[in-house]
């Protein structure tokens, strides 16, 4: 599937992966818009807002606790592992919209979490931040300052962490190859990253079972899952 651009792939020095919910779905983590579990009677899109949190913090925390259980039980799949292994052959950075930490579990060392992390918490008022690997005995949990703690994730209507986003822009602007995996490229501003790469004349490869809004802009589109396609990508790099 990579034969048509085999020579071009062999020349790349810096590879950027932009990953979305599709790669994690292969590890058993439902996509964000899934309707299973605790929130089946709620609109997940509406729960992931600061307004929903202040209106019903207990419900939002119950939803995130359910999601956290699913994340902690999940394991990196062959797609995650292939990306980590690529570090042996090229400079690799992962720009992920996922909040599950599976890239790090697989061994990737350069990961920018654009939308935060589900295993991290922060105070809704002060600057307190921490990691939490267990459930809270009472929800919503409170910070030492007396205000509510919240998941350290980016909700709809909130800006991305600017230090992370600026690093992502620089990395995308300097890469030779960008591989877009398991994302529909509809969420802004992450969907602008391929534009930055293209301005550097980088090669764009999309790996997704479904067509996306930017499929026509890709140099190569592979209608497959990351777990199937990415190990073959490694094989091509090894041959070069």
Is 219 known as a binding-site position?
no
66 is in an annotated binding site: no
Strands ordered across the beta sheet of 149-153: 129-131, 116-123, 149-153
CA distance 136 to 132: 9
* Per annotation, catalytic residue among 75, 80, 103, 115: 115
State yes or no: 175 annotated in a binding site. Answer: no
Contacts of 130 (CB under 8 A, 6+ apart): 120, 121, 122
Query: Which residues does residue 151 pair with via DSSP β-bridges, in sequence order?
Result: 121
Q: Phi-psi bin for 28: left (phi > 0), alpha (psi -120 to 50), beta?
A: left
115 in catalytic set: yes
Does residue 89 have a known ligand-binding role?
no
Calpha distance 60→36 (Å, rounded) = 15
64 annotated as a binding-site residue: yes
Three-point CA angle 147, 151, 155, nearest 5°? 105
Helix (H) or strand (E) holding 18: strand 14-19
Residue 146 counted as an annotated binding residue: no
Q: Record the tokens describing residue 109, joined without a space.
A: 């060392």
Say whether 85 counts as a known binding-site residue: no
Q: Please check if 145 is assigned to a binding site.
A: yes
196 annotated binding-site participant:
no
> Is residue 123 marked as binding?
yes
Q: What is the spatial distance between Cα 188 and Cα 47, in angstroms, rounded to a whole number?
A: 18
Known binding residue 127? Answer is no
* Feature table: binding site for substrate: 64, 67
User: Which are the catalytic amino acids?
Assistant: 115
* Feature table: binding site for Zn(2+): 123, 126, 143, 145
* Feature table: binding site: 64, 67, 97-100, 123, 126, 143, 145, 182-184, 208-210, 226
* Feature table: binding site for NAD(+): 97-100, 182-184, 208-210, 226
């Amino acid at each position: 599937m990579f034969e048509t651009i085999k020579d071009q792939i062999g020349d790349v020095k810096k590879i950027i992966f932009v990953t979305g919910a599709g790669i994690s779905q292969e590890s058993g983590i439902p996509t964000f818009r899934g309707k299973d579990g605790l929130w089946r009677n709620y609109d997940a899109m509406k729960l992931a807002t600061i307004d929903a949190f202040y209106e019903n913090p207990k419900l939002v925390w119950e939803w995130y606790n359910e999601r956290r259980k699913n994340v902690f039980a999940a394991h990196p799949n062959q797609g995650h592992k292939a990306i980590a292994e690529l570090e042996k052959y090229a400079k690799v950075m992962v720009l992920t919209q996922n909040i599950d930490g599976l890239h790090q579990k697989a061994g990737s060392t350069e990961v920018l979490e654009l939308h935060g992390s589900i295993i991290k918490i922060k105070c809704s008022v002060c600057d307190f931040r921490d990691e939490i690997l267990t459930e809270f005995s009472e929800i919503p949990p409170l910070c030492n300052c007396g205000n509510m703690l919240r998941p350290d994730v980016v909700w709809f209507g909130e800006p991305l962490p600017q230090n992370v986003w600026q690093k992502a822009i620089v990395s995308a602007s300097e890469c030779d190859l960008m591989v877009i995996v398991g994302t529909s490229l509809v969420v802004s501003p992450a969907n602008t990253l391929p534009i930055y790469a293209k301005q550097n004349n980088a090669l764009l490869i999309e790996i997704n079972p479904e067509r996306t809004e930017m499929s026509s802009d890709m140099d190569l589109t592979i209608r497959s899952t990351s777990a199937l396609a990415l190990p073959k990508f490694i094989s091509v790099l090894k041959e070069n």
